[in-house]
Structure 1
Amino acid sequence: MSNENGQHWRKQLSWGIILTGVGVAFLLDRSGALHWGTIWRYWPALLVVAGLSNLVPPTNVKLVLDGFSHIFFGAWFYCSFEHIWGLTFGNSWPLLLIMWGVTLVLKPLLENYFVSNKEHYDGK
């Protein structure tokens, strides 16, 4: 499968899951079984789904780093909105610096990993 087809598959999978989830939420809201106020607080899960779709299967460095970033931001937004572990946007912003640093450290490591795996599978 070419890289372009793999990215198309990921986008299609992500949007399919998101649209299905939103449709189910609207249906439950219309039937009175659920209220948007309850569901809206979980919107950061959409970022986590997008991140997971970038990680399965990991095909290149950009998708892996984007996947980790989406998952991190989804978790950060949710924890900050819900004040989990006492986190707010005001006291948790240093986590953004940590994520940025981790991304900078992971990039060359992942590039080496993907290059060595490609050479291994190409028989070089």
Structure 2
Amino acid sequence: MSKKMESRSQLLWGLIVVAVGVLLLTDIQVPPIGMWWRYWPFLAMAFGALKLIPPTTPRHVVDGLCHIAFAGWFYVSFEHLWGLTFHNSWPILVIIAGICMLAQPVVIKYTADKEEK
């Protein structure tokens, strides 16, 4: 793992630990652990955002945005927002995967062309 990725990972986990500590310190009523499972896509979104801060390569930008899109789809499907469920929205996941596969070489080529000029 590169130094940049290691520091990003440490930054994310540090923020998560601090947030949990602040929640525990405030003495608010914390929902049972079983209710927390439905918010795991936000953790995946955080990992995606971590690749965007600061973007070191075009690949990190595309990967970060794809992580956020996948996590967003999972959250919408879990919560049945806008009437979407896993059963009726799985083609959206296929479309997201295709867009991610297409975007990476296009973005890399575009940024390589810009750097050559």
Structure 1 length normalisation: TM-score? 0.76
Question: Where in structure 2 are there 5+ consecutive unaligned residues?
Answer: none
Deviation at 1:35, TM superposition (A): 1.4
Question: Where in structure 1 are there 5+ consecutive unaligned residues?
Answer: none
Give the % identical residues.
Answer: 44
Deviation at 1:22, TM superposition (A): 3.4
2:31 aligned residue: 35
- The total of aligned residue pairs comes to 116
* Most deviating of 90-99 and 16-25: 16-25
Listed as ranges, the matches of 1:1-124 within 5 Å are 4-25=2-23, 27=24, 31=27, 33-36=29-32, 37-119=34-116
Deviation at 1:38, TM superposition (A): 5.0
Greater relative contact order, per chain length (Cα 8 Å cut-off, separation 6+): 2
Structure 2 length normalisation: TM-score? 0.79
Distance 1:70 1:57 in 2: 16
Structure 1 residues 20 and 73: CA distance shift in structure 2, 3 A: farther
Superposition RMSD in Å: 2.5
